[in-house]
Chains A and B, each alone.
Chain A
Amino acid sequence: MEQELISKKELLELTNISYGQLYRWKRKKLIPEEWFIRKSTFTGQETFFPKEKILARIEKIKQMKDDLSLDELASMFSPNPTTIALHKNDIIERNIVSELALHFYIEQKGEQHVFLFDQLLQLYVFDRLLQTGEMSLGEGKSVFDVFERHYKKIQGKSCELLIVRKMGISTCLLSTNGNELYFEDGAKVVARLHVPSCIEELKIKVTEGMDKWSEKI
């Protein structure tokens, strides 16, 4: 996983922000610690960032910092789920997940009207896998189960969801960040999802929708 790096100096020039802003955002945890990569250069130690991720993040912060406070932004980017709960009808109307996925979830877990963020995340991940065709409806149950049982333990950490299939039998697992996994021959990793980025997308979807929603009313 070689990624293109950008030095701090180039980053500041490119995005037109100051050292103070960069450090403030780091302090507020808008930019995760792992992105600060230290390398030694001829002028001593320098800090580098994963280029694509940091540019996208700074663009997002710059866009939203006028409307939201830094703390609100921080909770949006943090891997800890926020205290959002949505009604069933809202989820469908605002197109956060597909109706099919939602119905399947209700079928599995029983009728419910209000969905908490954790549940929304399960749904969102499941829906994404469905949409990309990487998973069948029946396999969704294992996704829900693994999230329900184990997600609490690794909450706040960066983790990945893996779907592995061998001879038509599939299983899914959650793995915390940076662990290397090796599979036997014949086993195929069907899907690999980075959970924190899903959380981020979902949060944006949920909050964006809220603005539009309130405008409508």
Chain B
Amino acid sequence: MERKDLVIAGVGHASGGIYNMVKVSGSGKLFGDVDCNDLSIQGNATIEGNVKAEMAHVSGRVHMTGALHAEQVKISGNASVGGNIECKVIRFHGNGSVKGTLNAEEVYIHGETDVAGDCAAETFDARGSFTIGGLLNAGNIQVKLYGHCQVKEIGGETIEVRQPGVPFLKKLFFHVGLTAEMIEGDEIYLEHTNAKVVRGNKVTVGPGCEIERVEYQSSFECDKGAKVGTYQKV
């Protein structure tokens, strides 16, 4: 079947279905599941249903009630997804909120992101602020702290949390740091992290950390400016 384009420029609503390109530049509402090659939202859109797309690009504001299934996702505006997200590469430059779980190969967070469920990825690269309600499970986790980050649990191979230079005023008014209940990985480097338990093979605790308990296998290093309750070799 030939796929046709759906363009809403102005105000309008349409039903879901199979399209080539779905473009909303004004204000639009789509009812039903959408299957398209290209999803581009520059205005304001509500999609009542699941979305399947090759490329999804949101520079305006979108609200989806269902799940999002795509190859490439880029969110520069504001997006909220009611279901799960499954994709290859996802970039958050604006504000993202996911009510379900996020499953991707690569996740880049530059803005503010909120995932209610678990987040699984091969690469997780964040330099903004994020909240993950469940487990963050990724092979390579790189976090640059520019704001308040909160995760229930972190598990992975390489976990690196660093705080680059943050303006003094920002530090004064906002909390800049990572909070997690449990962090487990092979190689762990932490800065400005607040955690109950950190378990790993090679654990390095940098400045500004407050950790109740560290369990390590091969090596453990601790910075002078860190507070560690107990540490134990297992």
Contacts and interface: CB of A to CB of B under 8 A. Distances in A.
Interface size class of A (residues with CB under 8 A): 10 to 19
A3 interface: no
Given A26-B137, A27-B120, A20 B156 contact: yes
Contact of A45 (B137, B157, B158, B181): B181
A44 B197 contact: yes
Nearest to B234: A9
Given A9-B234, A43-B213, A23 B197 contact: no
B216 to A, nearest CB: 11
B64 to A, nearest CB: 23
Contacts of A9: 199, 215, 234
Interface stretch (B13-21, B79-87, B164-172, B182-190): B182-190
A82 interface: no
Interface residues of B, number: 22
Given A43-B197, A43-B213, A19 B185 contact: yes
A210 B136 CA distance: 38
B197 A18 contact: no
B74 interface: no
B96 interface: no
B147 interface: no
Instruction: Please give me the 6 A-B residue pairs with the lowest Cβ-Cβ distance, nearest first.
Output: A20-B157, A20-B186, A23-B155, A19-B184, A27-B120, A23-B137
Given A19-B200, A20-B157, A23-B155, 13 more contacts: A19-B157, A19-B184, A19-B186, A20-B156, A22-B155, A27-B120, A27-B122, A27-B137, A43-B213, A44-B181, A44-B196, A44-B197, A45-B181
Interface of B: 120, 122, 137-139, 155-158, 181-182, 184-186, 196-197, 199-201, 213, 215, 234
